[in-house]
Amino acid sequence: EGVERMDLGDDAPRRVTIRYEDVGYLIGGERGDDGGGSMLTIVERRERDGAPVRKCVLGGGPDREAEDGGPTDRPFALPPPARQALMSSILTLLGKKGTLRCVSNSAIYPDDGGGKRSLLVVHHRPLLRMLLRTAPYLDERACDRVPHEGSGQRSVTLKRTVTVIRSLRRFFDQGVQDSISLGGEAPGGAVALSDATARSVWSSVESDVSRTHSNGCFRALIVVYLFHPSRCSASYYLSVLPLWMEAWRQIDRCPEWDHLWLVLFSRARKYLPPGSYDWTGLLRHLLTHCGYWLQIPTGGASSTDRSFPRAVSPAKRTCPARLKAFVGSEGKYEEGMDFVGRLTKMIMFCAGPGKGVAVAAAGGGDGGPASTAAVSEGAAVT
């Protein structure tokens, strides 16, 4: 985490203090069949909801899960080139087809009774402190430090830090418990989610997202984009999606703002059962703004053609340039293609057969069942 040098005088030896943080633990980590043991040392056995949980720390270090951590202005123990090499090794392990995917929240285990499931849990707060130390300007109350390396070196370090955080989202503590992790005690392969990290992340920035009069809303949305886990319970998504929709509508014509909210809704749709949420409000919002997003020309065929009135394009709002590095791709072309791809998927998903009709028929829609069916049918034709 950081190095602190203490000069005790000319005659006294110099002492170097290296601080570190416990970033996670392993649930269900036990010795293998070969008797060789595990790289993780079990330091505590505790109870979670009546189920035994083995808590492991790398190298048998101290248990510091409850520690809030120190200030974010401490220097890193490694120079930027060494940090970049270390993060490259971490990204190799965290790849989608890497060896650690089987112990993530996204792993699927059949309920065949063949052994217990191991789950790697990573705390998001140490990663948030690492990001704030790499880019202090993400916090509007802090200012950047005097750089000791070139802008290119800092940009590479920031991009790899963001990539590591995004790859670790599937390991955040969501309270995943199924029949295998509970030793077969949960019948039928039931999965329980407490949404611990998701609730913590959203509650910490919920008030800032609505501060659209300043750039604090962009900073808060970036934190949600980077640290909010995708796999959440249906009840949690049903409680926050109306709040997300209301926050999204507070800013018009901002490509970065729209892209981040589109990503969050794309994640949520994967974990909601069919017919549980009325998607017609989102569909109406997408169809209203897709002309601006896709830059569909309006008016006459040329500047001299007066056969159709040409309206002046309204002003748009842009995200601060320094904040775009947290969500940007390699180039504008890649960003545009990713946005068009997500927009197309969401429109086709919202306009699918039976999407939102059952909810609107019960009186939950804006215009009743007739208007809901008309919107879905019109979107499908479009």
Res 34 pLDDT > 50: no
Token duo for residue 374 = 């008309």
C-alpha 243/C-alpha 164 separation (Å) is: 28
* Per-residue pLDDT tens digits for 9-32: 556 666 666 666 778 877 764 433
Averaged confidence pLDDT in the chain = 73
Q: Which residue has the higher pLDDT, 108 or 200?
A: 200
Contacts of residue 12, Cβ cutoff 8 Å, sequence gap at least 6: none
* Per-residue pLDDT tens digits for 204-252: 999 999 899 988 899 999 999 999 999 898 999 999 999 999 999 999 8
Chain-centre distance for alpha carbon 174: 13
Q: CB–CB of 236/219 below 8 Å?
A: no
Res 297 pLDDT > 50: yes
Position 351 scores a pLDDT of 87
Query: What average pLDDT does this structure show over 42-64?
Result: 38
Half-sphere exposure of 373 (CA within 13 A, CB side): 5
C-alpha 161/C-alpha 169 separation (Å) is: 13
Residue 335 burial (CB < 10 Å; 0-12/13-18/19+)?
middle
- Helix/strand number for the chain, H first, E second: 11, 6
Helix runs in 278-331, H state only: 280-293
Closest residue by Cα to residue 251 from 227, 221, 278 = 221
Half-sphere exposure of 141 (CA within 13 A, CB side): 3
* Per-residue pLDDT tens digits for 314-363: 778 888 888 888 886 556 777 788 889 999 999 999 987 655 544 333 33
Phi, psi angles (nearest 5°) of residue 2? -165, 165
Global pTM reads 0.75
Res 81 pLDDT > 50: yes
Token duo for residue 102 = 């089987």
Token duo for residue 379 = 């979107």
Position 146 scores a pLDDT of 76
